[in-house]
Amino acid sequence: MGCNHVKVPGGGFAIVCGRGRPTPRCRWCVSRPGKFQCDWKIGPGKTCDKHICPEHAQEVAPNKHLCPEHQKAYAAWLTDRQPKEAP
């Protein structure tokens, strides 16, 4: 992992090395920084991890955010999970 030259507003470059990566952009609007990552589980120990801005993220639990794609999956899951009538 080397260093990257990153354009900064107003012209000029900043040098970003190693772990200091520039903030990823939201996958949906691209113009905003993806402040959150989707916490939807897609497999054992794996989450969706798509970057989402506060506009596109839905906070479903404290510090748990979902991308627009998984907000739908979450809604379906909620419907599925409706309490079963006791026999």
The site for Zn ion (CB under 5 A) is made up of 26, 28-29, 32, 38, 40, 48, 50, 53, 55-56, 67, 70
Q: Closest separation between CB of residue 36 and Zn ion, Å?
A: 10
Q: Closest separation between CB of residue 29 and Zn ion, Å?
A: 3
Nearer to Zn ion, 19 or 46 (CB): 46
Q: Is 52 exposed, middle or buried (0-12, 13-18, 19+ CB in 10 A)?
A: buried
Nearer to Zn ion, 4 or 58 (CB): 58
CA distance 6 to 17: 10
Kindly report the number of other CB atoms within 10 A of residue 73's CB atom: 14
Q: Closest separation between CB of residue 13 and Zn ion, Å?
A: 26
Q: Are 4 and 28 in contact (CB under 8 A)?
A: no
